[in-house]
Amino acid sequence: MASQPALVDIEKLDQDDLRHTMSTGQGEVAEQNELKREFKPRQVFMFSIACAIGTGLVIGSGTALSRGGPGSLLIAYLMVGAAVFFVMTGLGEMAAFLPMNKGFGGYASRMVDPAFGFATGWNYFFKYMIATPANLTAAGLVIRYWRPDLNVGIWVAVFGVVIIFINFLHVAKLGEAEFWLGLAKILIMATMIISCFVVALGGGPNHNRSGFRYWDDPGAFKEYLVKGSLGRFLGVWACICQACFAFTGTEVVGMTFGETPNPRKNIPRAVKQTFWRIAVFYILGVIVLGMAVPSNNEMLIGATKKSTSADASPFVVAIRIAGIEVFPDFINASLLVFTLSAACTDIYCASRSLYGLARDNQAPKIFAKTAKNGNPIYAVGLSCFCVGLGFMNASKSAGTVFQYLVSLVTIFAVLNWMAILVSHISFRKALKAQGISAKDLPYTAFGQPWGSYYALFLSCLVILFSGYDAFIPHFKVDQFVLKYLGVVIFVINTAVWKLWKGTTRVTAADMDLQTGRREYQETETVEEQQWKESFWQKMMLPFQQFGVHLHDRISTHKLGHRKDIRSRKSLNSRQVIANLLMGQSLLHGASSML
């Protein structure tokens, strides 16, 4: 029970803040360092659909295809896709039941161990601190497709200023920018998938109808690193490791939950979109790639040695095999949209992770302070410093440094999935121990909690064996360090906080499943009422405007009619007077004649 005081302190702070938020006006909320729930439902929906679509799918899938073949690629994406789906639904159950603005570390602290939450929060912060310069470097390398004479550092500076400016905007404007970037990514990805499908059916200039022919020759499963069955297994495993990078960022929508109005309704809606994104963009995408591109194609093998320009994309290889020459420029412009959108999201996620850590007293309190618009400006400011890391890539070895950063990001991402899954499993155990039925949750996910066990098992395998290629065919120190550095940092952070604060594991019976729920329910009731009022006001606005216009027309008509009547009355009066005067003059003339 040594951990009880620490938990009470953390949750007491959260409860007090929530109560104070309920009792004050909107301006006071910002002064009390609260995020504002001003993400619109359509923006959260777009976050859930488009955030994870990036270079991992558009470029990295080619590397996986060349190493494992189309069969290995499909199996890997199905396995990792299922795991990511359960990660998201587990997160959705927790977030809908108990919405928090502390990020994933907040759930880990409350449901597992404050030390585990400390490591999780800082792990996520480190991940996006590294991902930001990686994506800015990718954007610079994309530009070099057109201007190879310009240094990558120039574009790191230019694009860095743009994304920093966007992240200091009001959260509603940030959400709007991400909405349109996400919409562009969806349209671009749909265009790529349809193009590959048409090419595979013989719709290209060469009219080569490949279908699933490449599954037979050169084959569905390739040997990788070694010969025989072990080589084919390593081909599948290489595809699984690459798929983890491709799915990196799927959980980003969870960072918006603290700024989402009516979270008990909008969170489940956003989580449910994960299934369709995985099915349509990832699974369908790798299927059409396996149809359109043979895994032993020289252009594909050459593309895997490129950096991040259009030449590195297997979708471009598919188009070039079909004899189409214009498409690469379109793909390259698309990659620029992908990388800039990802870099902008990276700073957002890093800042909210740091804000959550500060709220839990696991980072300096200054990072929990917000501006009047609810933006955690100090956390955003520190997160923006990571842009400077992009200048490490200004040398000729930019592509190599980029690959190093990608390796670190992948491990940090899988560690974060593992933390979410452990938190969800503990959450489910606490529900059972405290007599709360899963049917009473605002959102009950399909296949849970067994899905979380499967996803946790796969995540642990990936973490343990991600460095397999550091030993084959000979030991490579740099690869070994890159693949396991994230794990070492996570373990050290957990141990240091545990020893320093003396925290212990949160038991299922003692887990706090009540604090904050009533406050959020009351907040949601107010938000829902405001939304309904706003909705009906918007619906009735055209009728109100028509009514005002009609009233004005009627009033104008009546006023004109009154003026006309008055003018007619005035005219008739003048005529009567004139006639009377004329009659009098006639009578006077007649009398004088007599």
Structure confidence at residue 516 (pLDDT): 65
Structure confidence at residue 255 (pLDDT): 67
Q: What value does the mean pLDDT take over residues 565-582?
A: 51
- Does residue 267 fall inside a structural domain? yes
Is 16's pLDDT higher than 50?
no
pTM for this prediction: 0.76
Confidence of residue 92 (pLDDT cuts 50, 70, 90): confident
Contacts of 476 (CB under 8 A, 6+ apart): 469, 470
Q: What value does the mean pLDDT take over residues 526-536?
A: 48
C-alpha–C-alpha distance, residues 136 and 387, integer Å: 8
Is 29's pLDDT higher than 50?
no
- Does residue 237 fall inside a structural domain? yes
C-alpha–C-alpha distance, residues 367 and 465, integer Å: 36
Q: Is 485 exposed, middle or buried (0-12, 13-18, 19+ CB in 10 A)?
A: middle
Tell me which of 96-100, 102-106, 162-166 is least confident: 102-106
How many CB atoms neighbour CB 30 within 10 A?
19
Structure confidence at residue 424 (pLDDT): 93
Q: What value does the mean pLDDT take over residues 520-536?
A: 49
Residue 33's φ and ψ, nearest 5 degrees, are: 65, 45
Structure confidence at residue 17 (pLDDT): 42
More confident residue, 552 or 171: 171
Query: What's the domain range around 506?
Result: 4-519
Q: Is 69 left (phi over 0), alpha (psi -120 to 50) or beta?
A: left
Q: For residue 80, what is the domain's CATH number?
A: 1.20.1740.10
Q: Is the dihedral of CA 530, 531, 534, 537 positive or negative?
A: negative
Tell me which of 98-112, 252-266, 312-326 is least confident: 252-266
- Does residue 557 fall inside a structural domain? no
**Residue 173: C-alpha distances to residues 176, 178, 379 (Å):** 5, 9, 18
Report the chain's mean pLDDT, rounded to a whole number.
76
Is 556's pLDDT higher than 70?
no
Structure confidence at residue 139 (pLDDT): 80
Three-point CA angle 458, 463, 466, nearest 5°: 105
H or E element at residue 145:
none
More confident residue, 17 or 244: 244
Q: What value does the mean pLDDT take over residues 439-447?
A: 84
**Residue 53: C-alpha distances to residues 160, 185, 196, 339 (Å):** 20, 7, 17, 10
Q: What value does the mean pLDDT take over residues 460-465?
A: 90
Structure confidence at residue 562 (pLDDT): 56
Three-point CA angle 261, 267, 270, nearest 5°: 115
How many CB atoms neighbour CB 227 within 10 A?
9
Is 129's pLDDT higher than 60?
yes
Structure confidence at residue 177 (pLDDT): 79
Cα Rg for the chain, rounded, in angstroms? Answer: 32
More confident residue, 550 or 475: 475
Q: What value does the mean pLDDT take over residues 191-214?
A: 84
Is 55's pLDDT higher than 90?
no
Structure confidence at residue 337 (pLDDT): 82
Is 213's pLDDT higher than 80?
yes
- Does residue 53 fall inside a structural domain? yes
Tell me which of 148-162, 232-246, 457-471, 528-542 is least confident: 528-542
Question: Can you give 389-408 as a three-state secondary structure string?
Answer: HHHHHHCCCHHHHHHHHHHH
Query: Hey, is 220 helix, strand or coil?
Result: coil
Structure confidence at residue 5 (pLDDT): 39
CA 543 to centroid of chain Cα atoms: 37
| Number of separate domains in the chain | 1
How many CB atoms neighbour CB 329 within 10 A?
13
Token readout for 129 is 């601190």
Is 347's pLDDT higher than 80?
yes
Three-point CA angle 242, 247, 250, nearest 5°: 165
* Total H helices, total E strands in the chain: 20, 0
Is 401's pLDDT higher than 80?
no
Structure confidence at residue 214 (pLDDT): 87
Structure confidence at residue 175 (pLDDT): 76
More confident residue, 505 or 250: 505
More confident residue, 198 or 178: 198
C-alpha–C-alpha distance, residues 180 and 162, integer Å: 16
What are 286-326's pLDDT values in tens digits?
999 888 888 887 877 776 665 555 566 788 888 888 877 77
- Does residue 561 fall inside a structural domain? no
Is 425's pLDDT higher than 90?
yes
Structure confidence at residue 428 (pLDDT): 92
Tell me which of 2-6, 122-126, 325-329, 521-525 is least confident: 2-6
Length of the chain: 594
Tell me which of 14-28, 175-189, 220-234, 297-311 is least confident: 14-28
Nearest to 71 by CA among 206, 199, 240, 260: 240
Is 547's pLDDT higher than 60?
no
- Does residue 408 fall inside a structural domain? yes
Contacts of 16 (CB under 8 A, 6+ apart): none
Token readout for 22 is 């309920």
Confidence of residue 82 (pLDDT cuts 50, 70, 90): very high
- Does residue 494 fall inside a structural domain? yes
Counting residues of the chain whose pLDDT is more than 90, the rounded percentage is: 11
Structure confidence at residue 591 (pLDDT): 43
- Does residue 394 fall inside a structural domain? yes
